[in-house]
């Protein structure tokens, strides 16, 4: 874990190194993914069967390609009441928040009498990738599938690996709550390719969202343009800005909440008190010793974690903006949180006040937890209903409106050396 102090003479150099760290997987997966995509495109279901047997030890043809709606309903009904109620609360809040995101159509006439506007519509079909194994998260099913359905997607397809034939029943229950229409038991880059290109069994979709490993992320990157994607996501990250009024144990737990995702995750604390920084560091070590995910979280904290001591918390905000983190906690009094929030330009999602840990946003707050990582919050946003929709503009002119703006269009066409463009206007004039 790195310890930086803004008063040190070499702080700028050390912080530059922190900002520019590359935490994505070291393996060069690009060529492997390219081969996989080509194989699925050319051989379709045959490749899916072969790769599922190879990586998941599961025979699609003998054990089944799909998980049915009835199985998902049974999984939901079979949950213990507390878990079922928690999933229902999360789904309700996520659905409500995303309904409020729905854009409005526009239709108006401007001063020249030209009718202008735009109409929003959903894509026909969307695919959601859901990891299997250790990273099988029902919350991600809700966060990806519910916005698609709120947007109006009619056919929502989920792909998820089932290693050894094992199905995650909580994931199935979440799929039932979210209204997923099809579930296919395939994973990896080959599943993303199947959604993009289509196979004899799996019809193609228009947009693919959802988290995955380096191979899944690279498949989405390579297939962008064949289909739409949400983003190319990297390791999770959290930045916490905290003062001495916090309990060190709270802040330590917040830092570890992202560190436990993966050894390449990153957790960074900014504070204005060196003694408080020491207390948080001690609390992190203490909690790691009793954490079931301690091995992963410990490696993440050791390799990528950092504590930065600044003179005033306000001094931290330009540094926070440079990091453009996926998650940003402002663990201070509410009024000060608002003041610091006003200084935030780049962050995936911001958590205001001492009683708003990032983990609340992962599950039940309502806003989406699919967020840009790797400093991509500088230019992109979290998943929303807009990722499953597109805007179609429209224009309508009558004689008067055409006479008002048509001559300028013809003049511009002449200037660009496009006589047919000019003629299509002038014949009407």
The catalytic site residues sit at 326-327
* Helix or strand (DSSP H, E) at 391: strand 389-396
Look at residues 416, 354, 388 and name the one whose alpha carbon lies nearest to residue 123: 388
Buried-exposed string 37-61: b where 16+ CB fall within 10 A, e elsewhere: bebbbeebbebbbebbeeebebebe
Say if residues 189 and 218 touch (Cβ distance below 8 Å): yes
Question: What count of Cα atoms within 13 Å lies in the side-chain half-sphere of residue 80?
Answer: 2
Instruction: At 175, give phi and psi (nearest 5°).
Output: -65, -40
Angle at the Cα of 296 (from 294 to 298), degrees rounded to 5? 60
Pairing of strands 306-309, 389-396: unpaired
Instruction: At 308, give phi and psi (nearest 5°).
Output: -120, 120
CA distance 85 to 173: 11
H helical segments located in 207-357: 214-223, 248-259, 274-289, 294-304, 313-323, 334-341
- Residue 10: count other Cβ atoms within 10 Å of its Cβ: 9
């Amino acid at each position: 874990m790195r310890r930086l102090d803004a008063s040190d003479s070499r702080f700028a150099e050390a912080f530059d190194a922190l900002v520019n760290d590359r935490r994505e997987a070291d393996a060069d997966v690009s060529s492997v993914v390219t081969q996989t995509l080509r194989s699925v495109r050319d051989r379709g279901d045959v490749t899916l069967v072969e790769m599922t047997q190879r990586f998941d030890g599961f025979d699609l043809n003998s054990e089944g390609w799909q998980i049915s709606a009835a199985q998902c309903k049974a999984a939901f009904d079979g949950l213990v009441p507390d878990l079922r109620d928690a999933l229902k609360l999360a789904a309700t809040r996520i659905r409500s928040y995303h309904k409020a995101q729905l854009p409005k159509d526009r239709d108006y006439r401007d001063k020249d009498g030209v009718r202008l506007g735009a109409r929003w519509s959903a894509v026909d079909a969307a695919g959601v990738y859901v990891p299997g194994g250790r990273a099988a998260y029902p919350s991600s099913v809700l966060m990806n599938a519910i916005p698609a359905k709120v947007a109006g997607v009619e056919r929502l397809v989920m792909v998820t690996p089932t290693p050894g034939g094992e199905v995650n029943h909580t994931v199935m229950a979440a799929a039932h709550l979210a209204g997923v229409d099809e579930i296919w038991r395939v994973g990896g880059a080959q599943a993303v390719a199947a959604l993009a290109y289509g196979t004899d069994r799996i019809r193609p979709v228009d947009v693919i969202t959802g988290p995955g490993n380096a191979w899944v992320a690279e498949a989405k990157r390579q297939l962008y343009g064949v289909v739409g994607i949400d983003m190319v996501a990297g390791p999770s990250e959290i930045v916490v800005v905290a003062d001495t009024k916090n309990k060190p144990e709270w802040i330590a737990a917040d830092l570890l909440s992202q560190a436990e995702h993966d050894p390449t995750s990153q957790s960074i604390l900014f504070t204005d008190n060196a003694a408080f920084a020491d207390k948080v560091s001690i609390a992190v070590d203490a909690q790691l010793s009793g954490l079931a995910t301690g091995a992963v979280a410990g490696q993440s904290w050791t390799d990528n974690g950092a504590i930065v001591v600044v003179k005033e918390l306000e001094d931290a905000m330009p540094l926070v903006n440079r990091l453009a983190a996926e998650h940003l906690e402002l663990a201070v009094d509410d009024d000060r949180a608002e003041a610091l929030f006003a200084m935030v330009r780049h962050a995936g999602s911001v958590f205001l006040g001492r009683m708003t840990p990032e983990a609340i946003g992962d599950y039940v707050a309502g806003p989406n937890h699919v967020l840009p990582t790797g400093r991509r919050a500088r230019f992109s946003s979290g998943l929303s209903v807009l990722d499953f929709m597109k805007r179609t503009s429209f224009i309508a002119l009558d004689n008067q409106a055409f006479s008002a703006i048509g001559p300028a269009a013809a003049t511009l066409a002449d200037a660009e050396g496009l006589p047919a463009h000019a003629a299509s206007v002038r014949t009407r004039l």
